[in-house]
Chain A
């Protein structure tokens, strides 16, 4: 595509008619994406609120569950997600610079890291299955005092990490779409809005995990 900055073109590439210029168009998209992300904050906020209430009611039971959380996998997954946010931001930067091959390379790297996260999550869920830590009729807990209360924590664990994982899967689908679009040369330094918006989504999912990791894995480490 032609470079739009040099000539007095009536329409820059990718610019819709009802916007003054590309900058205004990108600002509008960014604002819209943030409105969506704020609804996501509210959505996860409800679950964080439930966690806060039950943790206040049963602090000892909640702390006792930390022994059965795989902190190593949790910490590695935190690193993997942070690394994927870093590669995502580099993909956006490549898009800004119009480096088409670099966009694809960084998006593919981000997707791979997302899949690594989900694979490790699967390993953890399998551990919980083997240990009978999945809430329901077959739930078993090592400390008889806390069977019911610990079950609440594991319910919250699966609800919160499960919703997070679903967001990761959606993100992986969005990244695949971006990779296809990038390989069809849809993006230029004048228009790369989808890369930037999905980047915002990906970072948001990272932030949710940043709070989930200490709350679910590190609560009763010292006991």
Chain B
């Protein structure tokens, strides 16, 4: 990884985008969107996190090995949430099986 020096303009643009997204997430939370409120808040949070990871943490210039490890971290986090929710959300779906 040769370390190319990123211009201040790029960092400033990312900073501006992050601030704009923070204002957006507060504004959207005041709208009545039902379930979509949560989806919108999480979508904005994921976009913000991606901006920080790619530009501030410079993963876009990182080695493939580092990218693989970052991806593995996200993958295991997904396993955690998906498996936990597949248990809790599906409880009581089969009425006869009381012990489930």
Chain A interface (Cβ < 8 Å from any Cβ of B): 23, 26-27, 30-31, 34-35, 37-38, 41-42, 45-46, 48-49, 52-53, 56-57, 71, 75, 78-79, 82-83, 85-86, 88-90, 93, 96-97, 199-200, 203-204, 206-207, 210-211, 213-215, 218-219, 221-222
Contact = CB atoms under 8 A, between A and B. Distances in A.
Grouping DSSP codes into helix (H, G, I), strand (E, B) and loop, the A interface class, with mixed when no group exceeds half, is helix
A38 B70 contact: yes
Name which of B30, B33, B41 has the most chain A CB atoms within 10 A of its CB.
B41
Interface of B: 1-3, 5-6, 8, 11-12, 14-15, 18-19, 22-23, 25-26, 29-33, 37-38, 41-42, 44-45, 48-49, 52-53, 55-57, 62-63, 65-66, 69-70, 72-74, 76-77, 80-81, 84-85, 88-89
B56 A85 contact: yes
A31 B69 contact: yes
Given A38-B69, A93-B6, A85 B52 contact: yes
A45 B77 contact: yes
Contacts of B74: 41
A49 B66 contact: no
- Report, nearest first, the 9 A-B pairs whose CB atoms are least far apart: A38-B73, A218-B29, A214-B41, A86-B15, A221-B29, A82-B18, A41-B73, A203-B56, A222-B32
Contact of B66 (A27, A41, A56, A211): A27
Contact of A71 (B26, B38, B70): B26
A189 to B, nearest CB: 9
Given A42-B76, A86-B11, A49 B84 contact: yes
A215 B49 CA distance: 14
A88 B55 CA distance: 12
Nearest to A48: B81
Contacts of B14: 86
Contacts of A53: 84-85, 88
B27 to A, nearest CB: 10
A35 B30 CA distance: 38
Contact of B30 (A48, A88, A89, A221): A221
Nearest to A85: B56
